[in-house]
């Protein structure tokens, strides 16, 4: 295993109808299973938590790649995480669509940075070959 930079922890109990709390207490939320796209307003679900982490990580990776290319950009990244039926085992799987809006570069450069970020981002590395991830970037 590579040299560890840091470790963080979260503890869940009760599964999708339970509770999750991070080691520093910042994340401390009840969990509830959505009914279709109807997401309860007083709780979260694992897909939202994954989406938040992936969006933040990818946005950071995008900005780092821009900085390395000496580009001054402003970005906003949305991760749309879907829970999908998995016909191979009658269970479920995840799918992700990353949508990045970027100011400061043209569309061609925005796409170049998108590819670089996807190759660098730890979440993208972790999901590569495991789940479908689609990428969209719009230069503003």
Q: Is the per-residue pLDDT at 128 higher than 80?
A: yes
- Residue 68 tokens, joined: 């390395």
Q: Which two tokens stand for residue 21?
A: 């709390």
| Average pLDDT along the chain | 95
Residues 54, 60: Cα–Cα separation, whole Å:
10
Per-domain boundaries in the chain: 1-35, 46-139
Q: Does the model's pTM come out above 0.85?
A: yes
Query: In angstroms, how far is CA 99 from the centroid of its own chain?
Result: 10
Q: Which fold has domain 1-35?
A: N-terminal domain of TfIIb (2.20.25)
Check pLDDT > 90 for residue 40: no
Calpha distance 77→59 (Å, rounded): 6
Beta strands 10-13 and 19-22, pairing class: antiparallel
pLDDT higher than threshold 80 for residue 28: yes
Q: Say whether 46-139 and 1-35 share the same fold.
A: no
Largest interatomic CA distance in the chain: 48
Question: C-alpha angle with apex 79: 72 to 125, nearest 5 degrees?
Answer: 80
**Residues of the chain above pLDDT 70, percent:** 100
Could you please report the per-residue DSSP string of 42-54? T-B-HHHHHHHHH
pLDDT at residue 2 is higher than 90: no
**46-139 — its CATH code?**
3.30.300.20
3-state secondary structure of 91: strand
């Amino acid at each position: 295993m590579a040299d560890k930079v840091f470790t963080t922890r979260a503890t869940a109990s009760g599964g999708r109808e339970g509770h999750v709390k991070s080691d520093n207490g910042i994340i401390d939320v009840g969990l509830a299973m959505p009914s279709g796209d109807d997401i309860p307003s007083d709780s979260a679900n694992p897909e939202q938590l994954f989406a938040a982490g992936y969006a933040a990580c990818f946005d950071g990776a995008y900005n780092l790649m821009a900085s390395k290319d000496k580009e001054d950009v402003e970005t906003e990244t949305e991760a749309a995480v879907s829970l999908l039926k998995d016909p191979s085992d009658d269970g479920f799987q995840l799918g992700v669509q990353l949508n990045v809006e970027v100011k400061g570069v043209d569309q061609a450069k925005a796409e170049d940075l998108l590819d670089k970020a996807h190759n660098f981002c730890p979440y993208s590395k972790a999901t590569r070959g495991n789940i479908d991830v689609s990428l969209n970037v719009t230069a503003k």
